[in-house]
Amino acid sequence: MDRMKRYAIYYAPRPGGFADAASAWLGWDLQAGCTVAQPRAALPRALADLTETPRKYGFHGTIKAPFALGAGVELADVRHGVKELAGQLARIELAGLGLVNLHGFLALVPQGDVSDLLDLAAEVVRFLDPYRAALSAADHARRRPEHLTPRQRELLAAYGYPFVMEEFQFHLTLTGPISESEAEEVMPLASAHFAQALNAPFLVEDLCLCGEDQAGRFHLLHRYPLST
C-alpha cells in the first residue's frame, strides 16, 4: 500500500459480529479497506448522510489521534514502537457499551470504571509522541485554539491534540452532527443494530495501527495484541 498521509492508533473490534455490524453501520470496512452496504431505514436523513463524517475514519475509538511522521521517521519505526508498547500493556475488559448523544453526535461509550483505559491511552500518547511531526501553523489553527481551555491549549502544544490525558474521553462515533429530533429517531435503529455489543462486555485487546490514504480514507494496517 502506498505511503499514508497520516497514521493513528485506534481501538477497532476484532473480526466478528461487532466488527461486521460497525462496518455496515458506517458503510466502510476499516480492516478490508472497502465500502459496505448500509442498513435501509426510514429516517429523517439517509443513514449514508448521517454517517458521512465518521465514515472516512472507519469504526474506531481513538487512542492516539492521527499524526504525520516526523523528520527521519519511517513507518517501520512506528511499527516497532507500537509492537514494543503493546507487549507492555494489559488488555482491558469493561462492563459494556452504552449508546449516547455525545455533544451533538451519537456514539458508543464504555460503561463502568474506565480508569485503566484512560491510563492506557495516556501511555500510548506519551510513548509514541516522538514519532509525530510537529503541527504546522495551519494544522494548529485548524484545532481552533481560541475555543480551547488553557489546559487543552497546553496539551495541543505538547502532543499535537487537545483531548488527551485528563481531557480524553474514549468513544466510538456513530454519526456526524445530529439534531435532537434526528437523534431520537436514529437511536432505536442504532440500539437494535448494535444490540449484541451493547449486551456484552467491552474488550480492548489490541493497539491498531491505522493509516490515512491519499483519498482521506483510513485503513487498518496492523493489529498488535496487548499483553494478557
Q: How far apart are CA 182 and CA 200, in angstroms?
A: 27
> Quick one: which H or E segment has residue 188?
helix 180-193
Q: Which CATH architecture has domain 6-225?
A: Alpha-Beta Complex (3.90)
Question: Which tens digits make up the pLDDT trace of 142-162?
Answer: 888 999 999 999 999 999 999
Which region holds residue 40: left if phi is over 0, alpha if psi is between -120 and 50, else beta? Answer: beta
Give 103 or 177, the one with higher predicted confidence.
Answer: 177
Select from 89, 90, 65 the least CA-distant residue to 7: 65
What count of other Cβ atoms lies within 10 Å of the Cβ of residue 217?
17
Q: Which residues contact 215 (CB under 8 A, 6 or more apart)?
A: none
Question: Which tens digits make up the pLDDT trace of 194-228?
Answer: 999 998 999 999 999 999 999 999 999 999 999 97
Give 99 or 40, the one with higher predicted confidence.
Answer: 99
